[in-house]
Amino acid sequence: MQRTTQRFLSVLGLSLALAGGAAAHETRAGDIRILHPYAVPSLQGVPNGTAYADLADQGQAGDRLVGASTPAAARVEFHTMKTEDGVMRMRAQPAIDIPAGQTLRMADSGLHFMLLGLKAPLKEGDKLPLTLEFAKAGTVTVEVWVQPRAQGSQAMEAHHHKH
């Protein structure tokens, strides 16, 4: 009986620790939830990087991401990737619409943050601040984790399973 209780408490403690880590990597700005922002490690010799996040609008009016910045790069742009005539093309977007009641999964949609003019290469395990400016929800700074490529909640799962 005592061994079963100890096991239960160990599993409960681990579950709470993981849940706390997950909650710590979610930020809110008004009706917007920014879920697990992450960047991928830099490729050697490439001065730019990419970052992603899931953006969930829990309001009824929708919002728009109109700006972003980080001290880790000269500037941040919103880019989308689409295949046209068999060729993958990347284009800058002036803003990103987030429909009311929906979650925009950046990696799934081809959208991403393009970190232009990195001041230093992004290495796995690094963290960097990213300030996001929403038309309605205002400005918020999130912590971006540098980790291998994954998508949204899959990235969070990968991070937790590494510990």
Quickly tell me which residue has 């619409």 as its tokens.
97
Residue 81 belongs to domain with CATH number: 2.60.40.1890
The mean pLDDT value for 88-112 works out to 91
- Classify residue 83: in a domain, yes or no: yes
Structure token pair of residue 158:
């990968």
How high is the pLDDT of residue 97? Answer: 96
- Whether pTM exceeds 0.75: yes
Question: Alpha carbon of 30 to those of 43, 59, 61, 63, 77: distances in Å?
Answer: 35, 9, 12, 10, 22
How high is the pLDDT of residue 7? Answer: 43
- Classify residue 19: in a domain, yes or no: no
Angle between helices 2-24 and 152-161 (to 10 degrees): 140
- Classify residue 138: in a domain, yes or no: yes
For 31-62, what is each residue's pLDDT tens digit?
999 999 999 999 999 999 999 999 999 999 99
Cross-strand partners of 128: 144
Domain that holds residue 81: 26-161
- Classify residue 37: in a domain, yes or no: yes
Count of structural domains within the chain: 1
Percent of the chain at pLDDT > 90 equals 64
- Classify residue 1: in a domain, yes or no: no
- Classify residue 115: in a domain, yes or no: yes
How high is the pLDDT of residue 87? Answer: 87
- Classify residue 4: in a domain, yes or no: no
- Classify residue 12: in a domain, yes or no: no
How high is the pLDDT of residue 108? Answer: 65
pLDDT band (50, 70, 90) for residue 138: very high
Structure token pair of residue 10:
């160990």
